[in-house]
Chains A and B, each alone.
Chain A
């Protein structure tokens, strides 16, 4: 057995035979550069049409960009010049496409850096055509489906595949935003990318591909098979019921309505939610406004971004978290000196309250955008009541100033806090009196409770959400919130971790907030759970002495 680790690209778990996609570039039949470009153009136009009918306009756009590149004199011209000056055609193509993509790779903008790949892909395509190396990849006879493994898959390569024969993709190169991942997501199959140890030896072997954990398990042993077969079956059931889950609200098996909201980082994260039912936005991080530009965002810019989300989600609510940065992110207009220990330093609400004029601008933009909409404002990194009361004062002041200008403001917005520090969790009973809601940010909460940095591999076993210290804290906060009659949600990683769904429900959680790709999986999980047995499970895990015992209890169920 060989377990290859990579990046979880597209979700899903499958089992099947692997086909290794090998591109042979030999230079047998040569053609002229003009012919090769012409042939390539024909190819991309066909691909555009195929992608348009199979995948829609959005996915087809890439081929229209390829077409423009192939017609671009600034690209083809220098290649021809080099050939005329005596270079071998394939060398000329390599040279020009490499130097052009190098220019784009130097840009700060992520989008432009990705376009460097487009240029290289088009270059490779011309080369392959020049050398007559049109990929000879064919699926074996029959209707069996396969996991395709490869060094790298370009959009051109992937268009060769008959989608009905695909189980999933595993590639050595590529990141979470590569074309392989985008394609896999759009046809609904798993992908694991960036697998350093992947090579041709996996060809024709049986394997599990787990797009949730980023694992590619080749020639599994009996023990592993048992674990994975269960996952594959769960996945198949999930896919079968997906359409129903998507269009319905979430209920537990015994009929309790549970809200499942989504987490977003920018307005465009809401793209693709047309047929998806969800209970509003449970976490809208506002940092993108502050990190993508050198100057601080204007009130108007912020207003536009918040309003876009509030409008498109209405009548559901949107929880917007106020700026959450600290000394680890240097933002020029905030006066944060380099700190020895930024995670215990001037960050989140502390930083905002020490830069009141910038904070006031954000509050004003929020109040304006929330007019006649359902807005919830959430403060990060709260440790003391004073931080909540001071924010309320500032908010009243902002409201008065706006009203004097005759601007419409939100009248019924709620103010709540992110529970992510041990101080706020321990004091949740008292804090509940000052808040309209709690949202538990489990990532930082686990880090602060366990006093372990989750990015530090030396202590990654200590950063463990299964630890009873974390579970007891969660239980306390959820119950204190319920007693005070305020809404409690969980918006960190734990909300999207199916291992914790039953425990959180058993503790009494009524609202989950998860990343968009995870929403239906969590809704499905909720629908399989009985609250009464969930409460029993909670009793058991809360009496566990360490994380191993907790994991044992969860897994046996």
Chain B
């Protein structure tokens, strides 16, 4: 399992386009991907769950991936978040 901590930099937080891009990227990978915020776990491949995270600018989230492509998944997700 790979995990990484990330602080949301985007002005809009993890909503709107950032949320849908994040979710679309996660869906490309086979690994089980989760986002943890304030101790709560959310499924990263579900747009509903990603919205429910309710992450705003400055919030710290943790992303975990488990599976054959776990490292690629984490790298791609961090890149997606950085791009926003």
Residues of A within 8 A of B (CB): 61, 64-65, 68-69, 72-75, 100, 103-104, 107-109, 111-112, 115, 119, 293
Contact A109 B52 (CB under 8 A): no
Contact B52 A104 (CB under 8 A): yes
Contact A112 B54 (CB under 8 A): yes
B34 within 8 A of A: no
Contact B47 A72 (CB under 8 A): yes
For the complex formed, measure the closest distance between the CB of A420 and the CB atoms of chain B, giving whole angstroms.
30
Contact A69 B20 (CB under 8 A): no
- Among B27-84, those with CB < 8 Å from A are 43, 45-49, 51-52, 54, 56, 58
Contact A109 B56 (CB under 8 A): yes
The 5 closest A-B pairs by CB, nearest first: A74-B46, A68-B47, A107-B54, A74-B48, A111-B15
Cβ contacts under 8 Å, A65 to chain B = 20, 47
Contact A103 B58 (CB under 8 A): no
Which of B12, B20, B51 is within 8 Å of A104, CB to CB?
B51
Contact B54 A69 (CB under 8 A): no
Contact A112 B51 (CB under 8 A): yes
Most chain A CB neighbours (cut-off 10 Å) among B17, B24, B54: B54
Contact A73 B54 (CB under 8 A): no
Contact B20 A119 (CB under 8 A): no
The complex places the Cα of A69 from the Cα of B45 at a distance, in Å, of 11
Contact A75 B51 (CB under 8 A): no
The complex places the Cα of A116 from the Cα of B18 at a distance, in Å, of 18
The complex places the Cα of A75 from the Cα of B54 at a distance, in Å, of 17
A-B residue pair count with CB separations less than 8 angstroms: 42
Contact B43 A68 (CB under 8 A): no
Contact B20 A68 (CB under 8 A): yes
Chain B residue with the shortest CB-CB distance to A103: B52
The complex places the Cα of A132 from the Cα of B47 at a distance, in Å, of 27
For the complex formed, measure the closest distance between the CB of A395 and the CB atoms of chain B, giving whole angstroms.
28
Chain B residue with the shortest CB-CB distance to A68: B47
The complex places the Cα of A75 from the Cα of B51 at a distance, in Å, of 12
Which of A61, A73, A108, A115 is within 8 Å of B51, CB to CB?
A115
Indicate whether A72 sits within 8 Å of B20 (C-beta atoms), given known contacts A107-B54, A109-B56.
no
- The A interface, classified by DSSP as helix, strand, loop or mixed, is helix
Contact B52 A75 (CB under 8 A): no
The complex places the Cα of A111 from the Cα of B16 at a distance, in Å, of 8
For the complex formed, measure the closest distance between the CB of A70 and the CB atoms of chain B, giving whole angstroms.
10
The complex places the Cα of A61 from the Cα of B18 at a distance, in Å, of 12
Contact B46 A72 (CB under 8 A): yes
Chain A residue with the shortest CB-CB distance to B48: A74
The complex places the Cα of A75 from the Cα of B52 at a distance, in Å, of 12
User: Apart from A72-B46, A111-B15, what 9 extra A-B contacts exist at CB < 8 Å?
Assistant: A65-B47, A68-B47, A73-B46, A74-B43, A74-B46, A75-B46, A75-B48, A107-B54, A112-B54
Q: List 18 A-B contacts (CB under 8 A).
A: A68-B20, A68-B23, A68-B47, A69-B48, A72-B47, A72-B48, A73-B45, A73-B46, A74-B48, A103-B52, A108-B54, A109-B15, A109-B54, A111-B16, A112-B15, A112-B51, A112-B54, A115-B51
Cβ contacts under 8 Å, A107 to chain B = 54
For the complex formed, measure the closest distance between the CB of A311 and the CB atoms of chain B, giving whole angstroms.
16
Contact A293 B54 (CB under 8 A): no
For the complex formed, measure the closest distance between the CB of B57 and the CB atoms of chain A, giving whole angstroms.
8
Contact with A along B5-23 (1 / 0, CB 8 A): 0000000110111001001
Cβ contacts under 8 Å, B17 to chain A = 61
Cβ contacts under 8 Å, A69 to chain B = 47-48
For the complex formed, measure the closest distance between the CB of B8 and the CB atoms of chain A, giving whole angstroms.
12
The complex places the Cα of A65 from the Cα of B47 at a distance, in Å, of 9
The complex places the Cα of A323 from the Cα of B51 at a distance, in Å, of 32
Contact B13 A109 (CB under 8 A): yes
The complex places the Cα of A64 from the Cα of B20 at a distance, in Å, of 9
Contact A119 B48 (CB under 8 A): yes
Chain B residue with the shortest CB-CB distance to A111: B15
For the complex formed, measure the closest distance between the CB of A56 and the CB atoms of chain B, giving whole angstroms.
15
Cβ contacts under 8 Å, B49 to chain A = 74
For the complex formed, measure the closest distance between the CB of B14 and the CB atoms of chain A, giving whole angstroms.
10
Cβ contacts under 8 Å, B12 to chain A = 111
Chain A residue with the shortest CB-CB distance to B47: A68
Cβ contacts under 8 Å, B45 to chain A = 73
Chain A residue with the shortest CB-CB distance to B46: A74
Chain A residue with the shortest CB-CB distance to B43: A74
Cβ contacts under 8 Å, A68 to chain B = 20, 23-24, 47
Cβ contacts under 8 Å, B24 to chain A = 68
For the complex formed, measure the closest distance between the CB of A266 and the CB atoms of chain B, giving whole angstroms.
10
Most chain B CB neighbours (cut-off 10 Å) among A69, A100, A108, A115: A115
The complex places the Cα of A293 from the Cα of B13 at a distance, in Å, of 13
The complex places the Cα of A100 from the Cα of B51 at a distance, in Å, of 11
Contact A100 B48 (CB under 8 A): yes
The complex places the Cα of A69 from the Cα of B48 at a distance, in Å, of 7
The complex places the Cα of A61 from the Cα of B47 at a distance, in Å, of 14
The complex places the Cα of A170 from the Cα of B12 at a distance, in Å, of 31
Chain B residue with the shortest CB-CB distance to A107: B54
Cβ contacts under 8 Å, B48 to chain A = 69, 72, 74-75, 100, 119
The complex places the Cα of A109 from the Cα of B20 at a distance, in Å, of 17
For the complex formed, measure the closest distance between the CB of A118 and the CB atoms of chain B, giving whole angstroms.
9
The complex places the Cα of A293 from the Cα of B46 at a distance, in Å, of 27
Cβ contacts under 8 Å, B46 to chain A = 72-75
The complex places the Cα of A115 from the Cα of B48 at a distance, in Å, of 9
Cβ contacts under 8 Å, A75 to chain B = 46, 48
